[in-house]
Amino acid sequence: MVTPRLKILVTDPIIGRFASILAPPGEHDLVLAAGRPDEEIVAALPGTDVAVCSRMTEAMARASGPELRLVHCTGAGYERIAIDALPPGTAVCNTFHHGPSIAEHVVMVMLMLSRQVLRKDRLVREGVWESVGVDPGLPLGDTLAGRTLGLLGLGETGREVARLTAAFGMRVQAMRRDPGAPLDGGLRLDRVLPPGGLHELLTSSDVVVVTVPLNEHTRGLIGAAELDRMRRTALLINVARGPVVDERALYEALAAGRIGGAGIDVWWPGEQGAGRGGSTMPFEKLDNVVLTPHNSGHTARTFESRARDIAANIAALAEGRPLRNVIR
């Protein structure tokens, strides 16, 4: 059987770095359009068979012709794809593989906060040797072993965080929509709570990790009342979406020392627009936070694996086989 030659338009700049995986030279017509203005993307879409992107506006979707058979998201999220405006019959797929990388980031942040790495690094650079070896009255850091981790969500990221932290000797509990559902891949948890068990999870956890998607049920899930239920030494790490946690309430809890610290990898204004988040609160002035630019899953392993997923679906489309990770 002769495999048809497809026109593949790639607008995502990160996945475009793996063009040789997406379509080996000579196999398909690959158009790399990352960074081009929207109007140029709109002009390039007619005649396209496959669009590989993290963002597709309504104008782009409506400019696509009936030839467009597949829109492949370059990650798990598809909220920036105008699905309802796509031509009838156009499939939409996504891909994952970010879980292990994000789990490593979560552990890194937990250790940085527990051992005050940012503070110690800054003081050493300033010539100050702050250590119990010099001042025996200083508080000691803590290990992860023996502490309790509370997970909000048990999707790919939550499962990988659970596996990795359990290997460090942590007790792991999670809150999920269906607490009785089978656990994936032999995963073992100390306790699984229903959504109504949020307050119990918060009060009994040394570290709370937010991994739930942002929707009408999770927006503002962690507010002032919830933060007040956490232990004064507890850490909150958000690798989901900024608005799941109330921005002002988190800042005030951190500034007042009502919780021990936070890792913020996802932000508030602008996150759904240009891909850049921000905050109206001066988190950067606090010593008990680790701040990162929504890059917890940005590793070569993540994106190479995603490129291979996308390439496999392109091959399946060309050969008339079923697609994987179909959203629509």
Mean pLDDT, rounded, for 286-299: 97
pLDDT at 24: 83
- Does the predicted model carry a pTM greater than 0.85? yes
Q: What is the mean pLDDT of the chain?
A: 95
pLDDT at 117: 97
Instruction: Average the pLDDT over each of 26-30, 98-102, 181-185 and give the range with the smallest value.
Output: 181-185
Q: Does the structure show a pLDDT above 80 at 272? A: no
pLDDT in tens, 159-175: 999 999 999 999 999 99
The answer to whether the CB of 100 falls within 8 A of the CB of 301 is: yes
Q: Does the structure show a pLDDT above 50 at 132? A: yes
Alpha-carbon span 76 to 102, nearest angstrom: 13
Q: Does the structure show a pLDDT above 90 at 11? A: yes
pLDDT in tens, 114-124: 999 999 999 99
CA distances to 256, 265, 294, 299 from 249, in Å:
11, 17, 20, 31
Single out the residue of 253, 249, 220 nearest to residue 235, CA to CA. 253
Q: Does the structure show a pLDDT above 70 at 1? A: no
In the chain, % of residues over pLDDT 70? 97
In three-state form (DSSP H/G/I as H, E/B as E, the rest C), the secondary structure along the chain is: CCCCCCEEEECCCCHHHHHHHHCCCCCCEEEECCCCCHHHHHHHCCCCCEEEECCECHHHHHHCCCCCCEEEECCCCCCCECHHHCCCCCEEECCCCCHHHHHHHHHHHHHHHHCCHHHHHHHHHCCCCCCCCCCCCCCCCCCCCCCEEEEECCCHHHHHHHHHHHHCCCEEEEECCCCCCCCHHHCCCCEEECHHHHHHHHHCCCEEEECCCCCCCCCCCECHHHHHHCCCCCEEEECCCHHHECHHHHHHHHHCCCCCEEEECCCCCCCCCCCCCCCCCCHHHCCCEEECCCCCCCCHHHHHHHHHHHHHHHHHHHHCCCCCCECC
Instruction: Average the pLDDT over each of 173-182, 220-229, 253-262, 268-277 and give the range with the smallest value.
Output: 268-277
* Top-confidence residue, 27 or 59: 59
What is the dotted CATH code of the domain comprising 7-97+300-319? 3.40.50.720
Structure tokens at 312: 């496999």
pLDDT in tens, 200-250: 999 999 999 999 999 999 999 999 999 999 999 999 999 999 999 999 999
Do domains 7-97+300-319 and 99-291 share one topology? The answer is yes
Q: Does the structure show a pLDDT above 80 at 280? A: yes
pLDDT in tens, 67-111: 999 999 999 989 899 999 999 999 999 999 999 999 999 999 999
Domain range annotation of the chain: 7-97+300-319, 99-291
Out of 15-24, 47-56, 274-283, give the one with best mean pLDDT: 47-56
Mean pLDDT, rounded, for 121-144: 95
Structure tokens at 73: 């998201």
99-291 CATH fold: Rossmann fold (3.40.50)
